[in-house]
């Protein structure tokens, strides 16, 4: 009898070692809430959807991530996503750090004007182990586990009034920008009147003429049918391209087994790779497709691009000093090296 009890106890102990999450009673939530600013019709939202589906499939439904597009968990105000994650309202982030500037300024290093002027330089930065290790350390310090990086896309400017070929052409235009003071200073430094508002509020404002223009990747312009909101002129100036950060709230990450952490991280990296492919495809075709909508598109010459960059040097220097000068200097070095090749 004692032998039988001993064997059962031994078997139970072995089971606990083999299946720690189950045997030790580790509790997983029935749903993990993920915030995205846009729905899956956009590459950004689609990346979040792919990620959630891969996690669900690869964990056999053990980890169920549900996507909440439109930043609906924070009433459409994407600037509140990171703070809401800290408060336990959001479990998973698939978003752009520029939106969280007011909460975690130090991780907005990729958004300075023209810091990565093309995909070659951006790819070189994202491939740098030193830069990304330091960056991920900042995200962890802020309270989240970074698991993958996608791309939101180069931001272009559109308006309803006139072609924009040089900085002076922005004077007097009311331009909607996301909630980053830096983006506001970029616009005001060239004579525009920046207006901060969520994307949900921006669309009726554009339609009514309350604002003259906006800046977003041309994917957003096409999929969101921004040309129907009176936007007749586009300039493809590639002035900013934020990353798309996949991250898990720190407390949630720690509640998962090491095996599940590995599954989730790999799923995010697979989703990010596919999401970047979608963004790059849009970028390669956007000028032709936007022109087909009857919109005038200006693609600056190298000399015109230099003028845009020169007009933003003051803003760049100020925000480099305020955001993270050490890490930004390392990014600049990698970008300079990439442009020599």
Domain locations in the chain?
28-152+242-283, 156-240+285-338
As a three-state string, the secondary structure of 236-261 is CCCCCCCEEEEEEEHHHHHHCCHHHH
28-152+242-283 with 156-240+285-338: one CATH topology? yes
Q: What is the mean pLDDT of residues 306-319?
A: 96
Task: Please tell me the predicted confidence (pLDDT) of residue 75.
Answer: 93
Show Cβ contacts of residue 288 under 8 Å, excluding neighbours closer than 6 positions: none
CATH assignment, 156-240+285-338: 3.40.190.170
Whether residue 286 has pLDDT greater than 70: yes
The conformation of residue 42, written as its DSSP 8-state character, comes to S
* Residues 93/85, Cβ–Cβ less than 8 Å: yes
Give just the sign of the alpha carbon dihedral 88, 91, 94, 97: positive
pLDDT(11) > 80: no
CA atoms within 13 A on the CB side of 334: 24
CA 60 to chain centre: 28
Q: What CATH number labels 28-152+242-283?
A: 3.40.190.170
Beta-sheet pairing, 243-249 with 144-151: antiparallel
Please state whether 172 falls in left (phi above 0), alpha (psi between -120 and 50) or beta.
left
In the three-class reduction of DSSP (H, G, I as helix; E, B as strand; rest coil), residue 159 is classed as: strand
Whole-number Å distance between alpha carbons of 83 and 15: 39
pTM over 0.85: yes
- Do 94 and 36 contact (CB within 8 A), yes or no? yes
Q: Which of 26-30, 32-36, 44-48, 61-65 shows the lowest mean pLDDT across its residues?
A: 26-30
- DSSP letter at 160 equals S
- Per-residue CA distances from 10 to 13, 19, 21, 233 (Å): 5, 14, 18, 74
DSSP state of 257: -
pLDDT of residue 1: 43
| Tens-digit pLDDT profile for residues 172-213 | 999 999 878 999 999 999 999 999 988 888 999 999 999 999
Mean pLDDT value across the chain? 92
Residue 91, both tokens = 């479990």
Averaged pLDDT for residues 128-133: 98
Residue 221, pLDDT score? 95
């Amino acid at each position: 009898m004692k032998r039988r009890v001993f064997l059962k106890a031994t078997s139970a102990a072995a089971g606990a070692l083999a299946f720690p999450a189950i045997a030790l009673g580790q509790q997983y939530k029935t749903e993990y809430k993920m915030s995205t600013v846009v729905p899956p019709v956009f590459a950004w939202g689609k990346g979040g959807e792919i990620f959630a589906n891969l996690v669900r499939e690869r964990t056999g439904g053990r980890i169920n991530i549900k996507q909440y597009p439109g930043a609906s968990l924070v009433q459409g105000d994407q600037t509140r996503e990171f703070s809401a994650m800290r408060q336990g309202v959001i479990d998973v982030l698939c978003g752009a750090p520029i939106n969280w500037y007011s909460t975690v300024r130090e991780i907005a290093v990729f958004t300075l004007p023209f810091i990565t002027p093309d995909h070659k330089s951006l790819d070189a930065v994202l491939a740098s182990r030193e830069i990304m290790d330091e960056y991920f350390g900042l995200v962890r310090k802020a309270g989240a586990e970074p698991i993958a990086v996608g791309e939101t896309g180069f931001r272009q400017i559109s308006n309803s009034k006139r072609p924009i070929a040089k900085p002076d052409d922005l004077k007097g235009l009311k331009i909607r920008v996301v909630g980053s003071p830096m983006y506001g200073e970029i616009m005001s430094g060239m004579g525009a009147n920046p207006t901060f508002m969520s994307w949900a509020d921006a669309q009726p404002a554009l339609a009514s003429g309350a604002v003259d223009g906006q800046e977003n990747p041309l994917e957003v312009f096409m999929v969101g049918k921004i040309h129907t909101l009176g936007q007749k002129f586009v300039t493809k100036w590639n002035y900013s391209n934020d990353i798309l950060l996949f991250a898990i709230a720190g407390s949630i990450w720690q509640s998962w087994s090491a095996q599940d952490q590995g599954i989730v991280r790999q799923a995010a990296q697979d989703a990010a790779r596919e999401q970047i492919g979608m963004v790059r495809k849009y970028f390669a075709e956007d000028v032709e497709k936007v022109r087909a909508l009857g919109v005038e598109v200006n693609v600056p010459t190298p000399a015109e691009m230099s003028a845009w960059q020169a007009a933003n040097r003051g803003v760049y220097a100020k925000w480099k000093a305020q955001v993270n000068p050490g890490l930004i200097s390392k990014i600049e070095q990698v970008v300079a090296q990439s442009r020599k090749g």
